[in-house]
A and B are shown apart, each in its own frame.
Chain A
Amino acid sequence: MRREVPLVLTAMVGLTMIIAHFIPPFNILKDLFEDWFFIIAAFAIYLGVLNLIRVNADKIYRKSRDWPFGIVVILGFLVITIPGLFFSGGRSFSDPGTSFYFLYIHVYYPLSATMFALLAFFVASASYRAFRARNVEATMLLAAAFILMLGRVPIGDWITAWLPEGYRMGNAADWIMDFPQTAGQRAIMIGIALGVVSSALRVILGLERAMGGD
């Protein structure tokens, strides 16, 4: 039963969603399943929070490796959540002037932006070490990257200002984006779509073993 019930439920919901797309009267069932999805999605947030606390509390209790970071996680969670829930005017917690907004702007905002900004340094270092014209394919990739990196910023047009309008680095970058890049993207998209269809069919038909927890 532990295997069969989830499989039947999945097949039923999956087939209903497909049928509803083509036969409108089935939309009633589709809407019902979507309502269930909203409820599950909302509860998933609470589940995530509980899991975060449980995992980190357990880590601290057992004094596992890097356990002090668990304290930081739980403190960070409480420092953002408590002002948001109790000291930020209820539902208007995200309005400018509330304590939650203050914490968001002065703590979360710079921390999150910093994490992402670090990428620039690693990309530069990785480019230096990995971008080598070892063979024809790598050289083509390198040339395309070079044109795009310079052509997507005004410096590319400065360097090639001596060329006639329409043949400068910026135009070359646009051409790469519009044709080879788009063609490649489209091929990837179609491939992914076909893969998704086949995976969905496997799940609906109960052929996907991972679904049953196997």
Chain B
Amino acid sequence: MNQENNQEVKSIWEKLLSIDRRIIFLFIAVAVAVPLFFKLSMRIPVTPVAQGTYQAIESLPAGSKVLASFDYDPGSMPELQPMAEAFFRHAFRNDLKVIIMGLWPQGPLQANIALEEVFQDEDIKAKSLQYGIDYVNLGFTAGNEVVIDRMGHSFEESYPKDGQGTPLSEIPLMRGVRNYDNVDLIFNLSAGYPGTQEWVQYAVDVFHVKLAAGNTAVQAPAMYPYVQTGQLSGVLGGMKGGAEYETLLGIPGRAVRYMFSQAVAHAVICMFIIIGNLAFFSIRKRKKTS
């Protein structure tokens, strides 16, 4: 009888180890989707690296100019779009002037999508922000880090016109903005190359401009050395970074809302890892005994 039970248990572990991956997919789908229907408020602890990004923007006096480079595409949208929205809310709330650009072709479009969302807010509407005075979108220019380098000498060399074809000299916000000396901060949202690393190497190290960033969770760990050395004021890492930024702003948005979903998904993955290891050790033990 005991032997039969043993045999049965063994087969269960073996079955678990060779489980159809579609079952795992199903668990993940449920873990990601179901929490989205619950409005659960979660305490988001803020890390010093996220605080650094927030502080770099918060410490700017009204009227300061921020160059915001959007270097990502829709693939990274769930992680970076909440940061973009939070950044615009933060900048406009503090009456900062924003110069938008992109080293990725889709970047300036992502900025437009975030702007469209932010402009729905009543307090932002009340400010009656005007294109060319409060913000401008320079669009995309091909050239990766060479664009960053050239902007250190002259913005006009990389962007003679804004995204709509207006010469920079005719845009009120761009008057008096020649190069990095005339912007108070660079804010970079990045999902890879070219991105934050290139901004550090070609703008911060060469022209000594201040930089704060938001990255995908995969890329953020590579930025920690730059934060420790002070080359980067701070970095928001993935959706968690976005949620931290929203928490600091006091405006819980999509990142805070999605954290519950991410938390459950992580818990499910951990559960699968535990089951996988239990099965692995159980089978190994049985093999050794036999």
Binding site for B on A (CB under 8 A): 31, 34, 37-38, 41-42, 44-45, 90-92, 94-96, 101, 104-105, 108-110, 112-113, 115-117, 120-121, 123-125, 127-129, 131-133, 142, 145-146, 149-150, 152-155, 157, 170, 174, 177-178, 181-182, 185-186, 189
Q: Separation in Å of the A210 CB from the closest CB of chain B?
A: 21
Q: Separation in Å of the A159 CB from the closest CB of chain B?
A: 9
Selected contact of A181 from candidates B24, B42, B224, B267, CB within 8 Å: B224
Q: Are B164 and A91 in contact (CB under 8 A)?
A: yes
Number of interchain pairs (Cβ within 8 Å): 151
> CB-CB contacts of B44-61 with A at 8 A, as 1s and 0s?
110100000000000000
Q: Are A154 and B225 in contact (CB under 8 A)?
A: no
> CB-CB contacts of B259-289 with A at 8 A, as 1s and 0s?
1101111111110110111001100000000
Q: Are A120 and B266 in contact (CB under 8 A)?
A: no
Selected contact of B240 from candidates A34, A113, A131, A153, CB within 8 Å: A153
Given A132-B276, A150-B270, CB of A95 within 8 Å of CB of B225: no
Given A108-B74, A185-B225, CB of A131 within 8 Å of CB of B273: yes
How far is B150's CA from A120's CA once the two chains are assembled, in angstroms? 38
Contacts of A94 in B (CB 8 A): 108-109, 112, 139, 163
Majority SS at the chain B contact face: helix
Q: Which residue of A lies closest to B271 (CB)?
A: A128
- Nearest 6 CB-CB pairings of A with B: A116-B75, A91-B165, A153-B263, A112-B74, A41-B142, A155-B263
> CB-CB contacts of B28-47 with A at 8 A, as 1s and 0s?
11001000000000111101
Q: Which residue of A lies closest to B267 (CB)?
A: A155
Q: Separation in Å of the B79 CB from the closest CB of chain A?
A: 9
Known: A91-B164, A182-B225. 20 other contacts (CB 8 A): A37-B146, A38-B146, A41-B142, A41-B143, A41-B144, A104-B106, A112-B74, A123-B269, A124-B269, A125-B24, A125-B25, A145-B273, A149-B266, A152-B240, A153-B262, A155-B266, A157-B43, A170-B45, A177-B221, A178-B228
Contacts of A182 in B (CB 8 A): 221, 224-225, 228
> CB-CB contacts of B205-249 with A at 8 A, as 1s and 0s?
000000000000100011011001000000000101000000000
Q: B252: CB under 8 A from chain A? A: no
Majority SS at the chain A contact face: helix
Q: Separation in Å of the B17 CB from the closest CB of chain A?
A: 8
Contacts of B19 in A (CB 8 A): 128
